[in-house]
Structure 1
């Protein structure tokens, strides 16, 4: 059996899950794979997670928490300009997705809307709020901020997806270059949005 830190099997299963998804994505992710990687019996994970969705909810909660920390760190270094702050936050999402494969498909995976996943909902709300605060800084109304964020999420996710799918990698783009491009593209959208709101 595995020798996990302080005997905390639950935390080890989440850690291993994060590792597996970063390597191969969420497709095909299974409790059996996680148990094998963690070097525990196939039944051991079920003492902490009754099914795959419960384990995925814990993984998504950890991912949302990690993304929030990356956004906060990136924005802290972005200065006081609200356009730069929001664009940098979107670049942080692209970097996070490339590095971990824990993007929106995991954070909002099917089955995770169940109210019983309170830890996930709390961390996901904090992550969303971090982006919403930044969106409100450049938008005339909350509704406009939400619409802008929807556009930016799709764009920043697309940059990461094109890299992970191999399109940008075949073009010789490094992850850093993709993040730079994603951030620049976000800035263009934000500036256009802000100018339209000021008319």
Structure 2
């Protein structure tokens, strides 16, 4: 075992390695044994920090939620108009998912909803609140904002999924172009939600 693990770095190394594994092979390939192998530690070493597979996955999901929140905040700082901020946030989600190959499918993974995952639930609330507050700024009420958030996140996730699955490959789309298309599509949805001129049906 590398010396650095004796200084308390193994936990963060396991989380980073898990995220890389999910990015490369998807959620179905995630296992503690494979993470340990990649981290070059014994099969039992991860259990010094995590009780079981789901505990490690919860830590990974927490990291994803934190990173997504930071990406959304950074994207919105370039704009002052609420609709543009929201569209930029949608684009930030698409870009993060393409880059890290992890998003809400990790944050809301089955088995991570128990009270023992309080830190994950807190980070998830922070992430969703980032989007919800932006949606409230262009909506007439909470119900409308929640509906808009669902539409935009589903759409943003879809653009990333099409890129990752190779659907856009036949057109030669770059990541930058897909993100721009996601932002443009979000603008259309927001305009329609507001009922403003220029909306597309």
Q: TM-score, normalised by structure 2?
A: 0.93
Q: Is the 8 A contact 1:139 1:145 kept in 2?
A: yes
Structure 1 counterpart of 2:193: 193
The structural deviation recorded for 1:7 is 3.4
Structure 1 counterpart of 2:199: none
Q: Secondary structure at the match of 1:167?
A: coil
Divergent runs of 4+, >4 A = none
Structure 1 counterpart of 2:128: 128
The structural deviation recorded for 1:144 is 0.3
Change (3 A) 1:126 1:49: same
The structural deviation recorded for 1:169 is 2.4
Q: Is the 8 A contact 2:21 2:29 kept in 1?
A: no
Please give the alpha-carbon distance, in whole angstroms, between the structure 2 residues aligned to 1:121 and 1:182: 27
The structural deviation recorded for 1:2 is 3.5
Change (3 A) 1:96 1:3: farther
Q: Is the 8 A contact 1:2 1:38 kept in 2?
A: no
Structure 2 counterpart of 1:44: 45
Structure 1 counterpart of 2:139: 139
Please give the alpha-carbon distance, in whole angstroms, between the structure 2 residues aligned to 1:135 and 1:63: 21
1:100-111 mapped onto 2 (5 Å cutoff) = 100-111=100-111
Unmatched runs of 5 consecutive residues or more in structure 1: none
Please give the alpha-carbon distance, in whole angstroms, between the structure 2 residues aligned to 1:143 and 1:20: 37
1:89-115 Cα shifts (integer Å, max 9, x gaps) = 000000010011111110100011111
The structural deviation recorded for 1:3 is 4.1
Please give the alpha-carbon distance, in whole angstroms, between the structure 1 residues aligned to 2:95 and 2:183: 10
Please give the alpha-carbon distance, in whole angstroms, between the structure 1 residues aligned to 2:20 and 2:4: 15
Please give the alpha-carbon distance, in whole angstroms, between the structure 2 residues aligned to 1:83 and 1:131: 12
Please give the alpha-carbon distance, in whole angstroms, between the structure 2 residues aligned to 1:25 and 1:3: 30
1:1-199 mapped onto 2 (5 Å cutoff) = 1-4=1-4, 6-77=7-78, 79-195=79-195
Unmatched runs of 5 consecutive residues or more in structure 2: 197-201
User: What is the aligned length?
Assistant: 195
CA RMSD of aligned residues (A): 1.2
Please give the alpha-carbon distance, in whole angstroms, between the structure 1 residues aligned to 2:2 and 2:16: 13
Q: Is the 8 A contact 1:4 1:12 kept in 2?
A: no
Q: TM-score, normalised by structure 1?
A: 0.94
Please give the alpha-carbon distance, in whole angstroms, between the structure 2 residues aligned to 1:129 and 1:180: 23
Moved more, 26-35 or 137-146: 26-35
